[in-house]
Structure formats: C-alpha cells, structure tokens
Amino acid sequence: MVEKRKYPRFETDLPIRFNLNPDHHYVPEIRRMGVGGKIHNISLEGFKIDSHLDLMDVCQIFSEAIEDNSPFRLEIQLWDSRGRSSLLKGLVRWYKLSELKNDVRHFQAGLRLEDADSRATTQSILESITGLALA
C-alpha cells in the first residue's frame, strides 16, 4: 500500500486533555471539564488521539448539536516538560467510537490542525521528538 500522506507521522505517547470547541456546548460545566487521552501519532498537519470514555466523557465530546456524520472540532490541551500549557485546535477528519464495554467506550480520532499557532506548536513537538529542524 502506497503512503498518501503529505507529511510523515511519528509515533508518540503524549498525554492530553481535549474537548469540543466551546461553540458546540450548551452546558458550560461540561465544556470546562475536558477528557483525558493521548496523542499516538503526530505530523506537521495533524495527529491521532486515543481515549477511553465513560458516559460523562462521551457527553463532553459529542454535544447535543452534533448530528451523525457531521464534522466537528476538538480543542486539545497539552503540557510540555516545564509545565507550560498549549492549546491546539483541530478539525476531526475521522473518528471511531467502540460499543460500550464495562461502562467504557474506546475513542480514536484523526485531527487536522486548523490554525498557524497549532501547527507551530506541533512543529516544536516534532522537532523535540525527531531532533530535526522541520520547516
């Protein structure tokens, strides 16, 4: 199978908190909480996130406003080794949500980064992972 991605992906295991863009939530308390997960692979253009969700987590990601198969955006909060926080914004290009098992669902999503700040932060992460200057 031929790789069709514009940028190479790199494996990682970065802990994150993520949630829907605030425009999608009617309930502010849900918006503030966020969901834990990890970035499992990353490129200059986007990344794959992975998480295990209970019912409350599912409510935080899939708001009342989302219809089946509609595109949505996630905001991802991550911290560097010095404890500094970065906010990344991405458009969900695909996602998988498993059936309920032991009150938990497995969630995976592929995100395409939306703005220059998110791409610049991701470039810094990639440069620290690979040790290469990427431009």
Q: Are 109 and 130 within 8 A, CB to CB?
A: no
Q: Under CATH, domain 10-130 is a member of which superfamily?
A: predicted glycosyltransferase like domains (2.40.10.220)
The CA distance from 33 to 42, in Å, is 24
Q: What is the pLDDT of residues 30-71, one digit of tens each?
A: 556 678 899 999 998 999 999 998 887 787 777 665 666 667
pLDDT at 113 over 80: yes
The pLDDT, as a whole number, for residue 106 is 92
The CA distance from 38 to 107, in Å, is 11
The pLDDT, as a whole number, for residue 27 is 58
- Please return the burial class of 56, using the count of CB atoms within 10 Å of its CB with bins 0-12, 13-18 and 19+: exposed
For the residues 65-92, what does the mean pLDDT come to?
A: 78
